[in-house]
Chain A
Amino acid sequence: MKPTGIQKQPTSATGTPERIDQAALYTPLVDIIETNDAFIFQADLPGVKPGDIDISFENGVLTIEGRVQPRQKPEQQYIWQEYGVGNFHRQFTLNTPINVDQIRAELKNGELTLTVPKAEHARTRKIEIKAG
C-alpha cells in the first residue's frame, strides 16, 4: 500500500510567495511621475489612516503597504456588495539611485503622495550646447 503521508513536493522555480494570513489583499491604483529631481508616486488608498501606512525601500524595491481598519463586523451580511475591504500592498522596482532619507509621504483623504528624490548624481542635468 502506498504511503499516504504528505509527500515531498518539488517546487517550480518561479513559485509565487505564499500568504500567511488569509485576509484579502488589494492592489492600489498608482500614478508614477518622473521629474528631473524625483519620482512621485500617487496611490489611491481609501480607508487608510496616516498611521497605518508602511513605506520601505530595500535593494531597489519600494514597498507601499496600507492597513485598513475593518469597517464592518466580520459576519456582516451585505445586500449588495461590489468591492471588498482589505489591506493594500504594492511594490515597485526602482533602477535609479534614490535618496532614501529624503523620501516624503503625505496622506490626505485616502490619497497618498510619495515623493522619492533621486540621488544627486542621478539627477538629470541640462547640458548647454554652444554654437560653434
Chain B
Amino acid sequence: MLARLLNDFSPLTRLHNEMNRLLEDFFEDLPTVRSFGAGYPAVNLWEDADQAYLECELPGMSMDDVEVYVTGNEVTISGQRKIADHPQANWHRRERTSGRFSRTLSLPWEIDADKVQAKLQDGVLTVTLPKCESCKPRKVQVQAA
C-alpha cells in the first residue's frame, strides 16, 4: 500500500502529504517521542493459562523513570527518557529520542491488580499480569448424550 501511495499524484494524496509536513514542522521543537503508530514503547504480549506477560524495551531507564499502572483490564506504562546533554561538543549523529511517554493497552481479560509484578533489568521491562480467577480458561466436560 505504501508503494501505491508513493506513485499516486492525485490531489487528495498531495493534500495529505502537505498536511503531514505542516504538522511535522509544528511539532519539531517539542521533545520528540518516537511514533510506532500505536505509541511508544513497542510491546510484546504473550500469555499462559494463568498469567499474561507484557514486555517492552526501555533502554537507559531505571525504576525511577518508569511507572506502571493497572486499572481493570488496562495497563499503562509511562515515564521519561533522559539523555545526557553535552554542551561543548559536536553532534555527529542523533538517533535516540528523549522525553515523556505514556502508553495504555486494553487487555482481553480482567487483571488481578494486587498480584501484578514488574521487573526492569538491562533496559527491558517485563510486567507479569495474573488474570482474574473467572478469566482463566476452564475445561468443560463434554458428555455423551
- Chain B 74-97, CB-CB to A under 8 Å as 1, else 0, gives 000000000110101111111110
B47 contacts A79, C-beta separation under 8 Å:
yes
A110/B124 contact (C-beta < 8 A), A47-B57, A72-B46, A79-B46 known: yes
- Chain B 117-145, CB-CB to A under 8 Å as 1, else 0, gives 00010111010000000000000000000
A31 contacts B96, C-beta separation under 8 Å:
yes
- In the complex, how many angstroms separate the beta carbon of B25 from the nearest chain A beta carbon? 23
Bound together, the chains give a CA A72 to CA B55 distance in angstroms of 10
B93 contacts A40, C-beta separation under 8 Å:
no
Residue A14 interfacial (CB < 8 Å):
no
Of A4-12, A54-62, A80-88, A97-105, the stretch lying at the interface with chain B is A80-88
Determine chain A's interface SS by DSSP, over half rule.
loop
Given contacts A33-B86, A72-B46, A111-B59, 18 further A-B contacts (CB under 8 A): A29-B96, A31-B93, A31-B94, A31-B95, A33-B92, A42-B83, A44-B123, A46-B57, A46-B122, A47-B123, A47-B124, A71-B55, A77-B46, A79-B52, A82-B43, A82-B44, A109-B59, A110-B59
A33 contacts B91, C-beta separation under 8 Å:
yes
B93 contacts A32, C-beta separation under 8 Å:
yes
A contact residues around B52 at 8 Å (CB): 79
Chain A residue with the shortest CB-CB distance to B45:
A80
A109 contacts B123, C-beta separation under 8 Å:
yes
A-B pairs with beta carbons under 8 Å apart, 12 shown = A33-B90, A33-B91, A40-B89, A42-B96, A46-B59, A46-B122, A71-B124, A71-B126, A78-B44, A108-B60, A109-B59, A111-B60
A83/B57 contact (C-beta < 8 A), A46-B122, A47-B123 known: yes
- Chain B 24-42, CB-CB to A under 8 Å as 1, else 0, gives 0000000000001010001
Which bucket holds chain A's interface residue count? 20 to 34
Please report which residues of chain A, range 1-53, place their CB below 8 angstroms from some CB of chain B when the two chains form the complex.
29-35, 40, 42, 44-49
Bound together, the chains give a CA A109 to CA B123 distance in angstroms of 5
A82 contacts B36, C-beta separation under 8 Å:
yes
Residue B104 interfacial (CB < 8 Å):
no
Residue B51 interfacial (CB < 8 Å):
no
B42 contacts A111, C-beta separation under 8 Å:
no
Bound together, the chains give a CA A97 to CA B10 distance in angstroms of 52
- The list of the 8 closest CB pairs from A to B, nearest first, reads A110-B123, A46-B123, A111-B60, A82-B42, A46-B57, A44-B59, A110-B59, A32-B92
A31 contacts B83, C-beta separation under 8 Å:
yes
Bound together, the chains give a CA A34 to CA B92 distance in angstroms of 7
Residue B73 interfacial (CB < 8 Å):
no
Chain B residue with the shortest CB-CB distance to A38:
B89
